């Protein structure tokens, strides 16, 4: 048996039973960007387990299709759409395809990002534009592409993924930290613009989440010690910890929560 892009996909069938279920998410159309691996894959899995109709976008075609196939036993098999989110025309086309297949989008999870390390000296105008494109620009244009559906429904939840990196003054990726700090400004402005249509907009802000990529590329002994010193809770932060908060923010249970920055970091910030 081949391994899943997200280890929790191969978890026992009852893995979600000890956590909350949200009846309002059953049948709800959810669009997730960057959903093939890592935190995004956990979002896809958890929304599918709630009975939502999930479409997810990613540039990694093989991982995306593998995840969709692994979740084929869900009430509604997730729909994977290959897309480079930095290409806005392609993003708009993929979202149009998702709506054609599943119906109007009711929940948008703007998850896609790339925290590639880089120094100030290495930044060029081209790398600056590329960093902004992958970390914040697509969030605005994804909202633009789904917002008319939500206005028609007089309801909707938009969840923009931020990062604690800029809050902690972390170094060695200035374009990333700048982009992620901009997410909160985007969230607060959109919350005011869209609130009178019944649309909620919140930022979901992860700490250091133990994805396979983070362990492989960035996690050092020094990093582990920094996490241990910084977090109030001495435990590893996992993708599913973010996914369960996203479920709450998408469900009707959080109907009066908007313009907020929900930090899930074990108490580091």
Burial of 60: CB neighbours in 10 Å, binned 0-12, 13-18, 19+: middle
Q: Has 176 been annotated as catalytic?
A: yes
| Options 43, 47, 56, 176, the catalytic residue | 176
Q: Are 260 and 201 in contact (CB under 8 A)?
A: no
Nearest 5°: phi and psi at 156? 160, 155
Catalytically active residues, by annotation:
176
């Amino acid at each position: 048996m081949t391994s899943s892009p997200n280890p929790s996909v191969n978890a026992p069938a009852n893995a979600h039973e000890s956590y909350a279920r949200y009846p309002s998410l059953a049948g709800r159309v959810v669009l997730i960007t960057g959903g093939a691996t890592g935190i995004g894959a956990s979002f896809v899995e958890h929304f599918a387990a709630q009975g939502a109709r999930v479409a997810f976008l990613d540039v990694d075609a093989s991982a995306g299709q593998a995840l969709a196939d692994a979740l084929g036993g869900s009430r509604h098999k997730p729909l994977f759409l290959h897309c480079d989110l930095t290409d806005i025309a392609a993003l708009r086309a993929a979202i149009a395809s998702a709506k054609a297949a599943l119906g109007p989008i009711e929940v948008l999870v703007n998850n896609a990002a790339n925290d590639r390390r880089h120094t100030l000296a290495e930044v060029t105008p081209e790398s600056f534009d590329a960093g902004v494109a992958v970390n914040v620009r697509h969030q605005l244009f994804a909202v633009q592409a789904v917002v008319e559906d939500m206005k028609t429904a007089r309801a909707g939840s938009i969840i923009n993924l931020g990062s604690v990196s800029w809050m902690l003054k972390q170094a060695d990726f200035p374009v990333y930290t700048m982009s992620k700090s901009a997410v909160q400004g985007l969230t607060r402005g959109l919350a005011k613009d869209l609130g009178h249509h019944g649309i909620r907009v919140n930022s979901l802000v992860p700490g250091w989440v133990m994805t396979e990529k983070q362990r492989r590329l960035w996690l050092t002994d020094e990093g582990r010690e920094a996490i241990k010193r910084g977090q109030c809770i001495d435990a590893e932060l996992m993708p599913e910890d973010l996914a369960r908060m996203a479920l709450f923010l998408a469900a009707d249970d959080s109907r009066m929560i908007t313009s907020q920055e929900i930090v899930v970091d074990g108490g580091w910030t």
